[in-house]
Amino acid sequence: MQQRNIAWIGTGVMGQSMAQHLMDAGHKLHVYTRTKLKAAALLNAGATWHDTPASATESCDIVFTMVGFPQDVTEVYFGEHGILSRCKPGMLLVDMTTTKPSLAEQIYTEAKTKGADFVDAPVSGGDVGARGASLSIMIGGDESAVAQLMPLFETLGKNILHQGPSGAGQHTKMVNQITIASTMVGVCEAMLYGVKAGLDLPMVLASISKGAAGCWTLDNLSPRIVDKNYDPGFFINHFIKDLEIALEEAARMDLCLPGLALANQLYRAAKAQGKGELGTHALYLVLEQLSKS
């Protein structure tokens, strides 16, 4: 694979592992993140630090962003020292944050005015998928840009599909998050039921994970609940952001999604209880507390 100069903006729970995979594949990485300490492992491995997204951008021909919230995406692209302020013709910009489809379309349009291509490519798979380079990547954008980026996407994930034009990747991620939301409620309720019934939960999981109930959440997050390990593979605070984007888009399309609305209320309860920085499976703790009320 041809070595590329790549800017990577955002080194959180998933972003750091993803950036490391690109370095391991032989690419030169230029890094910016709001807290430099979070980039320490990448810098120690040979990445170059930059003080602003703009500075990282001007050193590269490809820019990846993996930040937290829509306002963060807006800032790193449109801010005074943002990516678009130093964007060059022929540059490829990729946002892997889960954000609003309309924002992806806005960045796409602005990038085009500068002769650059923008692709929205949100991912699913959490910290496990990021570390194992097994993420599912949902892509929106022009076919020519996606084709150029495909070798890099293949370094980060296993299930990589071009969903359509700009914004289609983000819409697909909303479908993913809507599915996960109700699934997580069901998994946490099932685990709570198993505890109350006095069952051996690892034995229960060995049975049900091989039947019709089998799913990624059951395989990867239920064991963490058993171990009382609520460290984040994906933060509750970030999941609430995703659910509210999905609810906003559903309202715009005149859709009624009561399961999604219920999950959002439960996760807001988790945040109110100070659990926003825990993993999404910490919803179990909220349901456990409700059962004691």
Residues in the chain: 293
What span, in angstroms and rounded, lies between the C-alpha atoms of 137 and 153? 8
Rounded to whole angstroms, the Cα distance separating 70 from 73 reads 5
Q: Work out the pLDDT band at 59, boundaries 50, 70, 90.
A: confident
Residue 129 has φ and ψ, to the nearest 5°, of: -65, -35
Mean pLDDT of the region 63-72: 96
- Domains in the chain, please, with CATH? 5-165 (3.40.50.720), 171-292 (1.10.1040.10)
3-class secondary structure, 123? strand
What's the confidence (pLDDT) of residue 1? 62
Encoding tokens for residue 38? 């979070």
CA angle 31, 37, 43 (to 5 degrees): 45
Residue 3 has pLDDT above 70, yes or no: yes
Strands 5-9 and 28-32 come out as parallel
Q: What is the pLDDT of residues 73-121, one digit of tens each?
A: 999 999 999 999 999 999 999 999 999 999 999 999 999 999 999 999 9
For the chain, give the longest Cα–Cα distance.
63
Which one from 100, 173, 241, 275 is the annotated catalytic residue? Answer: 173
**Active-site residue 112, yes or no?**
no
